[in-house]
Each structure stands twice: as C-alpha cells, then as structure tokens.
Amino acid sequence: MESETAISTPSAPSANTHAARLSRYGLLSVTGEDARSFLHGQLTSDIAHLESGRARLAGWCTAKGRLLANFLVIPSQDGFNLLLARDLAPGVAKRLGMFVLRAKVKISDLTDTLMAFGIWGPGAAARIAALGLPGAEQPLSCVSRGDLLAVRLGDEQFLLLEPAARDGRIAALAANHADSEDQWALLEIRAGRPWVGQSTQDLFVPQMVNLEAIGAIDFRKGCYPGQEIVARAQYRGQLKRCMIRARAPAGVSLSPGQDLYSDAFADQASGTVVNVAPAAEGSELLAVVQTGAVAGRSPIRAAPNGPELELQPLPYSA
C-alpha cells in the first residue's frame, strides 16, 4: 500500500466541480478463490475477462430473465465490489449467497463500511488527480491508491469509494459543496443508466431497461440465470416494452415503480417509472413503456388525462 501522505488534501471547492455523498447506493464484496468464476456464472456480463483497471455494468436475473438487481462491478484487491441500489443490498447478498454452494466465495455487505461519493463537472478530473488518483481516462476505467478508489463513469463524472473508518478526505471534499445527490441521480438519468430498486425488482427483462445498449450484457458468454430468455428477447425481437427518458412538468408526482399511462391504451397502465430526479421546473425520469405507444407517438402521462410527459433523447441507440 502506498503512503497516504502523498495524497493532496482537498482544497476549497471549485465553482465548476460538484461533489456529494451517494447514500442511494449499497456495496457488496465478493471475495475468495472462486469469486471471478462465480460472478461470471451469475451475471449478464463477462467477468471472466474483466481487467483489474476496468469496471463493468451487469445485471442479475431470475431464471425467468427478470432483473433482481443491476450492478457496477468493480475489481478489488481480493475480489470484486458490486455497487447496487441500497435498498436491495441485504436481500441480494442473502440470495446471491444461496448460489455459492461449494465454491470458495465469501459475500459481504459493505454498505455501512465503504462510502460512495460522486464528483462531477468541469474540473472533476483535476480534483481526482489531486486526491492521488490520476489515470482513469476512459469510461469505466478505475484507479486506486491505498484504500481509495475512483471509477470514471463519463465525461468529468467519477464515482469514488472510501472506507467509512478512514480520515475522510473525500467526505471532507463533499462536505465543502452544497450539492445534492439528486443532481447525481439526474446525471445518471441523462446518461440512460437505470438502477433497479425494491419497487422495480423482478419487473424487467434486461433489454427493457437498455442494459444491452450500455454494455451490461454479453451475448457470447456462457450460461447464467435467465440467459435463454435474455437471448430470445434479443434475437427474436419479442420485447413489447422499452426504456425512454422523459421530462415531467412541475406538480407531477413521480416515484420508481409508479404506473404510467398512454392515450393509446386508455385507462390501462402501459408503463413503469424506473428512476426519477428533480430537474428545472419539474423532474426527469427513465421509464419502461409499451413500444406501441412510443412508435405511435402517443402521449405518455403519469395519470389518465394528466399532463403529458415530454420525451427526451437518450445518449445512445436503444
């Protein structure tokens, strides 16, 4: 482990840089001699060939191909850390452990011992370098120094992990900013990265929330729970729902798991909110809706006859 004294202490916050503690995430640790092969056999992504300096998005499905959780898989010194929705962490740790059987794998819930932070905006890369963590230059590249770790998620957007018991260099940096983690949630929505939580667990096949578009499914790897259904949905074009990004006007109440409606389906629910965050004069959201409503450009609403949601572009082709 390198000396901590070489790491710069955070200076006064830059007006161009934002930082916040991300309490919405939980963290699981998967360690042991068989950790890599175990995760490779459980997740939708190729973990067998995941390099130490790269993180990877992945999903974990039921045998019926429905998402129990989705992760950012981050290599660690003795295995992997799995970032996921905080409200899923205890249940996923327990259920994932049921599949360990005779494998040499240990699954631990680190949610209360390893803190997640976000740093984003112009100057974020320079601030990461000042923390002694330069080198995360490509999306999903990661770099560590001692017990600090940074993952680059996008242009000037970084996730950082810091043990709760240490002296809190990143925590001090976040405390110097008046930023809300809702701003981070909005970044994730605009990036088209969904996060499955308790209210949306077991509702979606991975392609319904665009996991294939963000590189969270490997169709060339071997078997994993639900793999046959996921492959069938990809190659037979059987999906009747897709994920959209939208803006809701002020006064429209939205929450994950909430039903949405389309004029094309009268009063019958035809969509589900996945994630939502406050935005200027309202909110923005990711939602899974009937493909027929999108193709027909039918208005989508939070309630029958309610205000229309304004569709927004995603940064990738879904």
Confidence of residue 1 (pLDDT cuts 50, 70, 90): very low
DSSP 209: G
CA 129, CA 158: separation in Å to the nearest integer?
A: 11
Q: What is the pLDDT of residues 55-110, one digit of tens each?
A: 999 999 999 999 999 999 999 989 999 999 999 999 999 999 999 999 999 999 99
Does the pLDDT of residue 122 top 50, yes or no? yes
Q: Do the beta carbons of residue 146 and residue 167 sit within 8 Å?
A: no
Architecture of the domain made up of 240-312: Beta Barrel (2.40)
pLDDT of residue 16: 79
Place of tokens 């060939």: 49
pLDDT for res 11: 40
Does the 4-190 domain belong in CATH 3.40.50.1100?
no
**Contacts with 151 (C-beta within 8 Å, 6 or more apart), sequence order:** 55, 72, 74, 136, 140, 141, 142, 158, 159, 160
Please answer whether residues 55 and 72 qualify as being in contact, where contact means their C-beta atoms are separated by less than 8 angstroms: yes
pLDDT digits over 172-181, tens only? 777 777 678 9
Strand order in the sheet with 114-120: 18-21, 114-120, 157-163, 148-154, 142-145
**Average pLDDT taken over every residue of the chain:** 91
Higher pLDDT, 2 or 44: 44
Residue 18, H or E segment:
strand 18-21
**Which whole number is the average pLDDT over 30-56?**
97
pLDDT of residue 312: 97
Asked if residues 25 and 84 have their Cβ atoms less than 8 Å apart, the reply is yes
Token couple for 269: 């629910």
Domain ranges in the chain are 4-190, 240-312
Nearest to 79 by CA among 40, 29, 37, 113: 29
User: What is the pLDDT at residue 7?
Assistant: 30
Res 10: pLDDT: 38
Q: What is the mean pLDDT of residues 147-167?
A: 90
Average of per-residue pLDDT across 246-254: 97
3: pLDDT strictly greater than 60: no
pTM: 0.92
* pLDDT confidence tier of residue 136, bands split at 50, 70 and 90: confident
Give the model confidence (pLDDT) of 266-298 as tens digits. Answer: 889 999 999 999 999 999 999 999 999 988 899
CB of 285 within 8 A of CB of 310?
Answer: no
Which tokens go with 79? 């295995």
Amino acid (one-letter) located at 34: D
Alpha-carbon distance 15 to 197, whole Å?
33
Is-contact 300 178, C-beta < 8 A?
A: no
pLDDT digits over 196-249, tens only?
A: 999 999 999 999 999 999 999 999 998 999 999 999 998 887 789 999 999 999
Within this chain, domains 4-190 and 240-312 share the same CATH topology = no
- Confidence band for 15, pLDDT divided at 50, 70 and 90: low
